[in-house]
Structure 1
């Protein structure tokens, strides 16, 4: 009597022995069922695979745009000093909610070239500061004369960012007579020869200068806002003294790296002090235009985290992807996944009526409800896995 099934099935040891056999049996029956109903299987797997593929591509695209410059070691301490202004409810009324963060606010990533040195002297808690700008010119390599776009960047930028080097060093870049080029430019200009130590003739702003290549920047597949093909030291600009003291020209992006433990909000009073001295006329203009009180500010500077620059609608300079677009894409991806799931459920329910006989036979042979439910779960899991593989 101790060998009756009602006693054996209570044995934990026996259940452990039976479980692998049952799983194998579930998989075997599921596979046979899918093979027997091939048209239904193809429709289910095809619909799920298309839905999962579309959803995966959308979320990979979203992840790509959210991962710009998040691979730098100091990413949590590097910020872009942006300029903002408030125009009031009637200002810029032609703006629409899908083209700007708010119609009343104007945000500009470009600031005066005089700002970096001023921040360095007057804002506490800043460990390093760098300006980045653009410049068109001509490069003469041997007998070839090429029209190129340069990046003007402070040497301290390479202390903030993890820019890989293929050859040479960035230490010599502090000399205005030196230049950095990308791996692609080095290969195009010098072929298999070492680019370090080679000289170029660079002409911009009406002046020709001889530059020595001291470093070759390696190509990286990581998403970044920095396009560093040909990098010049700012001090090599012919009009550097005038350019670096002109508060009316918005021509550079300014990056600051805060000291460890310093929060950007604590620097607001120092930035307000800079505005009071150099942009007092802008405070008056924005107050009058927006109807602000004397103690309200309609103009100032804000620090934008390095990893958020790409998803803030500054300008086409950064190839920005606005957060609302990413949210729309995420909703589309979720909708596609839901539609694929609902389609699979509908087809499975439509087919379930034809399996009543199978369920009845299995129950009459002693199968429990949990066994039958598990069988259907295994079938669903198998279809999902096949859809993912495809």
Structure 2
């Protein structure tokens, strides 16, 4: 019987080529879109779950509260972890690691030509491979990091430096003159690991390196610290135990607390925006799938009248309703399986470009993992069930006497339901179009907003302590390069972080934690910052330890007088001027208080540990040539650290990756949704024109023009599309208004966005319907009436 069902289904598929193509193409596209989102969301939610003890591993972080200002520091001191393990019940094991912040030059000393700049270098405790479940291909887990001069490299790194030869026992040179011996080779960390590495060095080696030794001994170097807890341990009790052991309150206004965050939550927790939006992506996938299923159900109910006599005859011959429903389930399963196979290959074809568009990396091991393959199988089963449910129920419910007497009512043909489906499809499409427009407009607003900072044509060049010792000469030489019109310097690149300082509020005992930037005298003018209260002294005289510049937000935050110049903060720092507020961080947040310390001496000691050079590029400058000049000057003073640079406007834009990713997904799948909706309308218009061909023939014989017939066939569909637009627009407005509340600064939702979405949707509908309407109206009425 199943064989007969499949034969009938295949014949129907071949006979009705237009409807079959629309259903299969629409379903395959929607399934491909769903698969891509399932892969992306599944990958984001799977981070670090591959570790054997992942559910019992927690990262410890410090929470320091100054007055009412809490600050979360995701690190512990060097000695905290061993002390915690020894004194706090429930801690089974600990692991400390630290990622080297700057790129490291690595050289194969046996072949010095193999010299590369590396950005994935970690220092870690010797139990790294026992604590985690990374696959160690060569070496013993408990011994590979036991010696200070040992190093473990990833498989891709072993190929990069040693080709096909065995790297064990071979030397590598890092940090200028430090020699390490390869003791292990690890499989490349999977793409869903929050800990990425190519080189792992033992923490013990840091004690023998001058650049780290002093900071560790003085407790100035913090480490990412993870604890493996007993299965029965309560994380809250462990937090309390850590506080009692070595983290009690530091003062009346300063409180210290320790928090444990599950390892599996670290990836999304690092990016609040990504965490917020990750739930939207499955909703988009579901909407795309529903649109395709609506297409299938709509065309199936529209064609129900052509199958009604078949159902009537089978019921008269004794077929039970269950058997008829079963047949239509098999038919739907055939359509869905064909669509699924096509969609799967479409997904595999598109996934590299899709993930590149989103700026994420997903390796093949995850894509073809059993968990992902099982998710796709569940998607197939769900689609088969949803696609078949309504058509099977509807078609198996026909009464045989009414069908065979030609008394099948229009209501049984599902006219009302098809109208609902049309409204639903175009309503979703219009809502997605509006959302995509608003998101793109908000991102454009970010990129072109007046932040109070002149970001254009400014290059940021980080440098290490080695170059910092010669910074005065380096800055002078950079300033003399063709195309460089101005230079400045600071401790940190703008928009990539800032320091913090505890400040006693004026007229209050409250301690306030304020962001600080340390810059040189040219920074203010170079960045185009504006003065609210200009300094009364020359800015050259402000370069001493007791001078500070604040912004307007700091005046309000510290309860200072309207003109606070010459007042002191903490009784120590004299205010020399007040800058107008400017955005020194993301536009997600309102401008906060800020203190700026100006240092004038090019050889000032804050440069000894590195910093960043800002270089303003003049108009009509050949950028590649200018960058080559910068690189040559950099390598003149530091040929160990790799040459890196950032354009300030690119760094500013990178703060909105999550929103950019969301807008791209909405843009791509809005196109999918619109195409699926148009395909459904195309199928319904084809069927309607075919069903009414005799009516059209009679009207033409009686004198109706092509315009009259075209209007007759089009107006009902266009009414439904307009109704869908009217329903969807307020919902889209409400949803986007809620989304824009996430930003302190937002672009207005202009009326033209809704007009443009309406015109675009109507144009697509008119072109789709008009093709069939004009074709039907232009047909020879004799052919339509020949059978009468």
Q: Name the TM-score class by shorter chain.
A: 0.7 to 0.9
Structure 2 contact 59–262 (Cα < 8 Å) conserved:
yes
How many Å separate the matches in 2 of 1:134 and 1:220? 15
**Per-residue displacement from partner, 1:216-260 (whole Å, max 9, x unpaired)?**
1122546212222111112212255543355555x4211111234
Q: Does 1:244 align with 2:213?
A: no
What SS does structure 1 have at the residue aligned with 2:182?
strand
Match of 2:151 among 166, 176, 179: 179
Per the alignment, do residues 87 and 55 of structure 1 end up closer, same or farther by CA in structure 2, a change over 3 Å counting? farther
1:141 is aligned to 108
Structure 2 contact 188–198 (Cα < 8 Å) conserved:
no
Structure 1 contact 65–321 (Cα < 8 Å) conserved:
no
How many Å separate the matches in 1 of 2:280 and 2:152? 40
1:323 is aligned to 275
**Per-residue displacement from partner, 1:247-282 (whole Å, max 9, x unpaired)?**
555x421111123432322212212225644x624x
Per the alignment, do residues 354 and 185 of structure 1 end up closer, same or farther by CA in structure 2, a change over 3 Å counting? same
Q: Tell me how far 1:352 sits from its aligned partner.
A: 1.0
1:36-51 pair list within 5 angstroms = 36-51=15-30
Aligned length: 332
1:32 is aligned to 11
**Per-residue displacement from partner, 1:29-87 (whole Å, max 9, x unpaired)?**
22222221111111111111111221122112111111122122222222111234568
1:1-390 pair list within 5 angstroms = 22-84=1-63, 107-135=72-100, 136=102, 137-142=104-109, 143-144=112-113, 145-149=115-119, 150-170=121-141, 171-203=143-175, 208-221=177-190, 223-237=192-206, 238-239=209-210, 240-247=212-219, 249=221, 251-274=222-245, 276-277=247-248, 280-281=250-251, 284-285=253-254, 299-312=256-269, 314=270, 322-390=274-342
What SS does structure 2 have at the residue aligned with 1:173?
coil
Query: Whose helix fraction is larger, Structure 1's or Structure 2's?
Result: 2
Q: Tell me how far 1:386 sits from its aligned partner.
A: 1.7
Per the alignment, do residues 361 and 273 of structure 1 end up closer, same or farther by CA in structure 2, a change over 3 Å counting? same
What SS does structure 1 have at the residue aligned with 2:95?
strand
How many Å separate the matches in 1 of 2:81 and 2:197? 20
Q: Tell me how far 1:347 sits from its aligned partner.
A: 1.2
What SS does structure 1 have at the residue aligned with 2:152?
strand
Q: Tell me how far 1:161 sits from its aligned partner.
A: 0.7
Per the alignment, do residues 178 and 276 of structure 1 end up closer, same or farther by CA in structure 2, a change over 3 Å counting? closer
Query: Whose strand fraction is larger, Structure 1's or Structure 2's?
Result: 1
Structure 1 contact 165–216 (Cα < 8 Å) conserved:
yes
Per the alignment, do residues 209 and 35 of structure 1 end up closer, same or farther by CA in structure 2, a change over 3 Å counting? same
Q: Tell me how far 1:214 sits from its aligned partner.
A: 0.9
Q: Tell me how far 1:329 sits from its aligned partner.
A: 0.8
1:11 is aligned to none
What SS does structure 2 have at the residue aligned with 1:176?
coil
What SS does structure 2 have at the residue aligned with 1:76?
helix
How many Å separate the matches in 1 of 2:80 and 2:133? 24
Q: Structure 1 stretches of 5 or more lacking a match?
A: 1-21, 92-104, 286-297
What SS does structure 2 have at the residue aligned with 1:253?
strand
Q: Tell me how far 1:154 sits from its aligned partner.
A: 1.0
How many Å separate the matches in 1 of 2:213 and 2:83? 14
Q: Bigger shift: 168-177 or 57-66?
A: 168-177
**Per-residue displacement from partner, 1:81-140 (whole Å, max 9, x unpaired)?**
12345689x96xxxxxxxxxxxxx754433433432332343232222111112243333
Per the alignment, do residues 213 and 374 of structure 1 end up closer, same or farther by CA in structure 2, a change over 3 Å counting? closer
Per the alignment, do residues 331 and 274 of structure 1 end up closer, same or farther by CA in structure 2, a change over 3 Å counting? farther
How many Å separate the matches in 1 of 2:240 and 2:130? 26
What SS does structure 1 have at the residue aligned with 2:47?
coil
Q: Bigger shift: 232-241 or 186-195?
A: 232-241
Larger RCO (CA under 8 A, 6+ residues apart):
1
What SS does structure 1 have at the residue aligned with 2:159?
helix
How many Å separate the matches in 2 of 1:128 and 1:48? 51
What SS does structure 2 have at the residue aligned with 1:322?
helix
Larger Rg computed on CA atoms: 2
Structure 1 contact 80–305 (Cα < 8 Å) conserved:
yes
Q: Tell me how far 1:363 sits from its aligned partner.
A: 3.3
Per the alignment, do residues 276 and 231 of structure 1 end up closer, same or farther by CA in structure 2, a change over 3 Å counting? closer
What SS does structure 2 have at the residue aligned with 1:82?
strand
Per the alignment, do residues 338 and 87 of structure 1 end up closer, same or farther by CA in structure 2, a change over 3 Å counting? farther
Q: Bigger shift: 51-60 or 259-268?
A: 259-268
Structure 1 contact 129–157 (Cα < 8 Å) conserved:
no
When normalised by structure 2's length, the TM-score is 0.39
What SS does structure 2 have at the residue aligned with 1:196?
coil
Per the alignment, do residues 172 and 353 of structure 1 end up closer, same or farther by CA in structure 2, a change over 3 Å counting? closer
Per the alignment, do residues 242 and 116 of structure 1 end up closer, same or farther by CA in structure 2, a change over 3 Å counting? farther
